[in-house]
């Protein structure tokens, strides 16, 4: 704002919490000089639901569903961290098939997340079409979620000791309707004639071409490059010190991926590459994530191959952790007792503490779990990757223009369910 003498003074501007580019409920209080950012103070917590406190008041298994609602575009990865923490404390190891299923669904989740990110980031920066393309594929993967768990998003599919049930033998199909009929319907159901694994295999094979389509729209796009190249550069040292993880860290040139360095589930047995950036700007983060989608599709195909060849149980055969079969419960008294005990009181986890981290699509999602030997956790702390990422926004956007803040918010891949918890 100019005063009477014509001098420019800095002013404060509010951004959000109800703004299409704020990715939920982010409120930024920005001190600006003209269009230049002098200081940003993010106000978070508008979606704070006290997940960690709620988890303390419930038996362990009841909180798995809350994990879906943290980062609500990478649901199963959050479950994975929580479930692994419980398994570590109990000393339970899920059967190999369950671990392969988890590996596969972690990668499905990664693609789901990155599709959401590429769509919304491009939309923030003015490219409408990518969003439509990305959601076309998201729909297919959400159907996989639905096929195994019955819900499209909040699956509660991973359980301590394995996964809730085995993969369905038949993939869900589109039904005939006034909008889907004839040739159209046949095309939509083309991959869905066989099992879910057949569907996923066909999807993952074709997905590389789909990624080509997104890249066609963005990678060499002049406007896209103008908005992202050299915006929000982070040096590798600074990225480490600021607590970055996942693609945010790798785009700065740090070759660090928990799936490689501290492998869990079956990541040690699958073959994939870690894309790494060189400059650490928004454009590099874009390239890293796009390439991660390609790698995820490759991992899915490897998992499909193994899962097709190796049937087996998907849950530990330990009735202290996992319920017996429902049919057994009708016949056997032992099974009935276990069933009753497990669903009324739950299981008590031995006293101790552990930190289990997974490479979630946004970065390191960790679960610090303290148990005092009770059937409810004593303390759960969830380490959400977006929390330290967002904390750096002041440092990274100082001196940038206002539109660059939108580019930064997009590149952080923020979801407020996990920032606010």
**Nearer to other proteins by C-beta: 155 or 357?**
357
Instruction: Determine which residue in the list 17, 65, 95, 324 makes contact with other proteins, applying CB under 8 A.
Output: 95
List the one residue from 366, 397, 409, 410 that touches other proteins (CB under 8 A).
366
CB burial of residue 70 (10 Å; 0-12, 13-18, 19+): buried
CA distance 320 to 315: 12
Taking CA atoms, 152 is separated from 72, 139, 194, in Å, by 11, 9, 20
Both tokens of 162, joined, read 């394995």
Round to whole Å and give the CA distance between 137 and 242.
34
Q: Which residue has the tokens 């409120």?
A: 27
**261 touching other proteins, by CB under 8 A:** yes
Q: Which residues contact 216 (CB under 8 A, 6 or more apart)?
A: none
Contacting other proteins within 334-353 (CB under 8 A): 344-348, 350-353
- Residue 256 interacting with other proteins (CB under 8 A): yes
Nearest alpha carbon to residue 40 among 50, 49, 29, 48: 29
159: closest CA among 68, 74, 76, 61?
61
- Judged by CB under 8 A, does residue 91 bind other proteins? yes
374 binds other proteins (CB under 8 A): yes
Q: Which residue has the tokens 């200081």?
A: 39
Shortest gap between Cβ of 57 and other proteins (angstroms)?
Answer: 5
Binding mask 383-412 for other proteins (x = CB under 8 A): x---xx--x---x-----------------
**Looking at 17-25, 41-49, 286-294, 303-311, which segment touches other proteins (CB under 8 A)?**
41-49
Question: Which residues from 44-83 bind other proteins, rule CB under 8 A?
Answer: 44-45, 48, 50, 52-54, 56-59, 62
- The DSSP output letter for 174 is P
Our CB check for other proteins shows the closer of 390 and 405 to be: 390
Contact 226/282 with Cβ under 8 angstroms? no
Q: Kindly give, in sequence order, each residue whose CB lies less than 8 Å from that of residue 301, ignoring residues fewer than 6 positions away.
A: 201, 204, 205
Based on the shown chain and the rule CB under 8 A, indicate whether residue 368 belongs to the binding site for other proteins.
yes
The DSSP output letter for 355 is: E
- Whichever of 174 and 368 has its CB closer to other proteins, that residue is 368
Stretch that binds other proteins, among 86-94, 147-155, 216-224, 226-234 (CB under 8 A): 86-94
Return the structure tokens found at 310: 């190796």
Residue 211: Cβ within 10 Å count = 19
The mark string for 281-320 relative to other proteins (x by CB under 8 A, - otherwise) is --------------------------------x--xxx-x
Q: How far is the CB of 345 from other proteins (least distance, A)?
A: 6
Helix (H) or strand (E) holding 404: helix 402-412
- State in angstroms the smallest separation of the CB of 373 from other proteins: 5
CA distance 69 to 416: 10
Between 119 and 236, CB nearer to other proteins: 236
Binding interface with other proteins (CB under 8 A): 44-45, 48, 50, 52-54, 56-59, 62, 88-93, 95, 237, 240-243, 245, 254, 256, 261-262, 313, 316-318, 320-321, 344-348, 350-355, 357, 364, 366, 368, 370, 372-376, 378-379, 381, 383, 387-388, 391, 395, 420-421
């Amino acid at each position: 704002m100019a005063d009477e003498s014509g001098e420019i003074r800095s002013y404060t501007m509010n951004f959000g919490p109800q703004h299409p580019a704020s990715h939920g409920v982010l409120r930024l209080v920005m001190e600006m000089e003209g269009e230049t950012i002098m200081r940003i103070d993010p106000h978070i917590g508008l979606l704070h639901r006290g997940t960690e406190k709620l988890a303390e008041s419930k038996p362990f298994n009841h909180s798995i569903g809350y994990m879906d609602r943290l980062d609500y575009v990478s649901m199963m990865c959050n479950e994975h961290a929580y479930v692994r923490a419980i398994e570590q404390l109990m000393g339970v190891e899920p059967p190999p098939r369950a671990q392969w299923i988890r590996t596969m669904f972690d990668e499905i989740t990664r693609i789901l997340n990155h599709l959401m990110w590429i769509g919304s980031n491009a939309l923030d920066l003015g490219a409408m079409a990518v969003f439509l393309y990305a959601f076309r594929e998201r729909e297919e993967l959400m159907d996989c979620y639905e096929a195994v768990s019955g819900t499209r998003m909040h699956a509660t599919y991973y359980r301590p000791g394995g996964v809730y049930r085995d993969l369905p033998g038949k993939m869900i199909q589109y039904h005939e309707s006034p909008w889907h009929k004839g040739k159209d319907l046949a095309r939509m159901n083309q991959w869905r004639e066989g099992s879910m694994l057949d569907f996923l295999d066909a999807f993952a094979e074709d997905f590389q071409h789909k990624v080509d389509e997104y890249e066609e729209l963005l990678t060499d796009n002049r406007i896209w490059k103008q908005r992202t190249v050299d915006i929000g550069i982070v040096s590798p040292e600074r990225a480490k010190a600021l607590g970055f993880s996942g693609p945010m860290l790798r785009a700065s040139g740090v070759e660090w991926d928990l799936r490689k360095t501290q492998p869990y589930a079956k990541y040690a047995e699958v073959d994939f590459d870690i894309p790494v950036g060189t400059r650490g700007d928004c454009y590099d983060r874009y390239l890293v994530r796009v390439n991660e989608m390609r790698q995820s599709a490759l991992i899915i195909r490897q998992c499909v191959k193994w899962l097709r060849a190796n049937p087996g149980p998907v849950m530990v055969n330990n009735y202290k952790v996992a319920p017996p079969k429902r049919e057994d419960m009708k016949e056997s008294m032992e099974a009935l007792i276990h069933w009753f005990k497990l669903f009324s009181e739950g299981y008590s986890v031995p006293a101790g503490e552990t930190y289990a981290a997974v490479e979630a699509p946004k970065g390191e999602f960790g679960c610090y779990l303290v148990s005092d030997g009770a059937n409810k956790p004593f303390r759960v702390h969830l380490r959400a990757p977006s929390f330290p990422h967002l904390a750096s926004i002041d440092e990274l956007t100082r001196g940038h223009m206002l539109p660059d803040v939108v580019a930064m918010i997009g590149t952080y891949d923020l979801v407020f369910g996990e920032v606010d918890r």
